[in-house]
Amino acid sequence: MTDDYSATPSRNVPPTLQRGKACLRCRKRKMRCDGTKPSCQQCVRAKKEGLCEYDDGKGKTRTQLLRETIARLESRIKELENPEHTSTSVSLFDPHILPISSEDSSSSGGDSPSSFPFSASQSPNHITSVSPPPLMACCSPVSWAPSDRCFSSPHRLFVTQVPSELAQSLLEAFIPHRDQLLVGLHVERLRSSLRRPAEEQRHPVLMNAIFLWACYFSRTPSLNQHEPLYLSRATEAFHDWLRSPTKVVDVIQGCCLLSQYFLVNGRIMEGFHYASAAASLVLQWGLHRQGSERRDVGMGLEGTFSLPPAQDAIERGERILAFWQVFCLDRCWSAALRRPPLISDGPGALSTINAPWPQDIIEYEVENFSDITNLNTVQTFLAHQIQVPVLAGGFSNFALRAKASALLDLATKVAFSWNTSGVALTPLSEQDTLAVEDSINRFIASIMPVHQMGAVHASDRHNLIVVHTLAQAALIRLYYLRGEVDQLWNEKCLLAARGMLLVIGQVSDMDIEFLDPIVGSCWASAAHVFIREMAQVETWSPITSNELGSHVGTITAALSRLSMTFPLAGFLTSRLQSSLGLV
């Protein structure tokens, strides 16, 4: 291989190092090394300072220690499986997630955050893409350490300290957006964790995802340029985590943030890979059945995916919130993209969602928990079979989001029980449609009306905007297909679309950057109702084309404002304009 010095005049060639003095990375690649410590120039130019290590004979490098640890674990696994038989690998297959090819481990690593102060001039544009996570990793019950608090040594390879001032600033930039992204974390604990040793901090997947979103929301070039850096770090930390899982709840929350980042930037496949990872993890570790665990006859592996008891009420609350974060992400984006949700909900004790409705983190701080178990939380809400006691919760901002997400998912399922000719595909299609319609309307009647939202606190208003948006989108999805051939259902669909216009009318420029990005898809669905009506207006609708065009313009303008924060909204705007041009 030709090294980087081959085209350089001889007077600039550094003196030849003694044999064995080059760093391990240069040795492996047969490149000329200048021996500079802590990082040689070859590694600096390649942005691999974190992988520049020297074997001076005085001790083993981190890489050597890690390889020896892995070799010991693999050997022990083979012994435990069958002392008289050896196999090349041990794999646990998870059917909920898709296999993705893993990157070569030699590419792992990262730049040092300390080299990127606020005014850093270098751009991390060398990171052109980030591979989806290798969601089917070779692992074993023996090597898995499913503790929510321990921090095993292999992860330290990805722990690179961000300067304290920068870390605190990034965290403060993220905190105002935590509700928007449904991150249920205790803020003071999160702040204090940054002052602890690296092994006691939150997992790098979560922290780098938080720093990524902080840079994203900052809208300042000095921080925006570091998005690829923190994105790369978060994904690399996840790759590493798969080999030795720890701090599971942190990683679940981090995967949700990564999924949302990819989705709002139009990288749908990568977004769904991380959503799949988060959904698989909450099911594997039983976060959907919190408070309803039952002892059963063991088969030797059940402890593999068991979290230790929460240390206190706040930690328990964060686990509940982590499940509902994944639930909302799954239900909303699956409905938007017309694909089945990743998290099923029964029947059967293992798959039924029994986690209590999420509450505000302050409620967990004072240990205000619902102890109702085996509630069939979502199924009970959707069926309205019983009057749920107040102690069961379900009235927080987060809970309203979860309920609206569940209704959108249910409306999507029922809507597709009709074909495009308005013919029922199942015997209960008509009955189910009316029942879902009633559930959605009752839910809308139970929350603050749209015209009163201006009188509440900003964070509550942002949440209500999203909740009303999801509810109207659920009605539109329920009515749209039948509205193609049935005048009554078409009128209902138009009424729901006008309801969406009322919600959009309450959205100010100050609100727009604090909304869940899923609202863009919901708003666009209302615009498509009006566009369809414009194409049929001469046939049987009394509404004028000008009025309908004005409605579409209102929604397009709102999407254009939203696209200033979330690029995916710009794509939706372009599609609307294309559809409008065909009318």
Residue 32 has pLDDT above 80, yes or no: yes
Residue 342 has pLDDT above 80, yes or no: yes
Instruction: Give the per-residue pLDDT at 94.
Output: 37
Question: Is residue 258 one of the residues assigned to a domain?
Answer: no
Question: Is residue 380 one of the residues assigned to a domain?
Answer: no
Residue 481 has pLDDT above 50, yes or no: yes
Residue 390 has pLDDT above 90, yes or no: no
Instruction: Give the per-residue pLDDT at 580.
Output: 79
Which one of 9, 43, 58 terminates a domain?
58
- CA dihedral angle for residue 65, residue 71, residue 77, residue 78, rounded to 10 degrees: -160
Q: What is the CATH number of the domain that holds 3?
A: 4.10.240.10
Question: Is residue 562 one of the residues assigned to a domain?
Answer: yes
Among 371, 370, 290, which residue's Cα sits nearest to residue 327? 290
Q: Please give the single-letter amino acid code of residue 349.
A: A
Instruction: Give the per-residue pLDDT at 4.
Output: 40
281-333 pLDDT tens trace: 999 888 887 754 444 545 544 545 678 888 888 999 999 999 999 999 999 99
Upper half-sphere CA count for residue 268 (Cβ side, 13 Å): 9
Task: Give the long-range contacts of residues 552-556, CB within 8 A, separation 24 or more.
Answer: 552/527, 552/576, 552/580, 554/501, 554/504, 554/505, 555/500, 555/501, 555/504, 555/523, 555/524, 555/526, 555/527, 555/530, 556/527
Structure tokens at 416: 């597709």
Question: Is residue 579 one of the residues assigned to a domain?
Answer: yes
User: What confidence category does residue 231 fall into, taking pLDDT thresholds of 50, 70 and 90?
Assistant: very high
| C-beta neighbour count of 296 within 10 angstroms | 9
Number of domains making up the chain: 2
Using a cut of 0.75, tell me whether the model's pTM lies above it. Answer: no
The residue segments making up the domain with residue 437 are 400-583
Cα 109 to Cα 121: distance, rounded to the nearest angstrom: 21
Instruction: Give the per-residue pLDDT at 128.
Output: 34
Instruction: Give the per-residue pLDDT at 290.
Output: 72
User: What confidence category does residue 583 fall into, taking pLDDT thresholds of 50, 70 and 90?
Assistant: low
Which one of 41, 58, 75 terminates a domain?
58
CB-based burial, 362-399: b 16+ in 10 Å, e otherwise: ebbeeeebbebeebbbbbbbbeeeeebeeebbbebbbb
Looking at mean pLDDT, say which of 343-352, 391-400, 485-494 comes out highest. Answer: 485-494
| C-beta neighbour count of 332 within 10 angstroms | 27
Instruction: Give the per-residue pLDDT at 544.
Output: 76
251, 199 in Cβ contact below 8 A?
no
153-167, 237-251, 309-323, 446-460: which range is least confident on average? 153-167
Question: Is residue 171 one of the residues assigned to a domain?
Answer: no
58-72, 285-299, 354-368, 499-513: which range is least confident on average? 58-72
| H-run or E-run covering 209 | helix 204-218
Question: Is residue 200 one of the residues assigned to a domain?
Answer: no
Instruction: Give the per-residue pLDDT at 56.
Output: 61
238, 137 in Cβ contact below 8 A?
no
- More confident of the two residues 220 and 445: 445
The percentage of the chain sitting over the pLDDT mark of 70, rounded to a whole number, equals 70
Helix (H, G, I), strand (E, B), or coil: what is residue 78?
Answer: helix
User: What confidence category does residue 2 fall into, taking pLDDT thresholds of 50, 70 and 90?
Assistant: very low
Question: Is residue 490 one of the residues assigned to a domain?
Answer: yes
**DSSP string for residues in 274-292:** HHHHHHHHHHHTTGGGTT-
User: What confidence category does residue 164 fall into, taking pLDDT thresholds of 50, 70 and 90?
Assistant: confident
Cα 490 to Cα 483: distance, rounded to the nearest angstrom: 4
User: C-alpha angle with apex 363: 362 to 368, nearest 5 degrees?
Assistant: 150
Question: Is residue 529 one of the residues assigned to a domain?
Answer: yes
| Helix, strand, coil shares, percent, the chain, to 5 | 55, 0, 45
- More confident of the two residues 337 and 347: 337
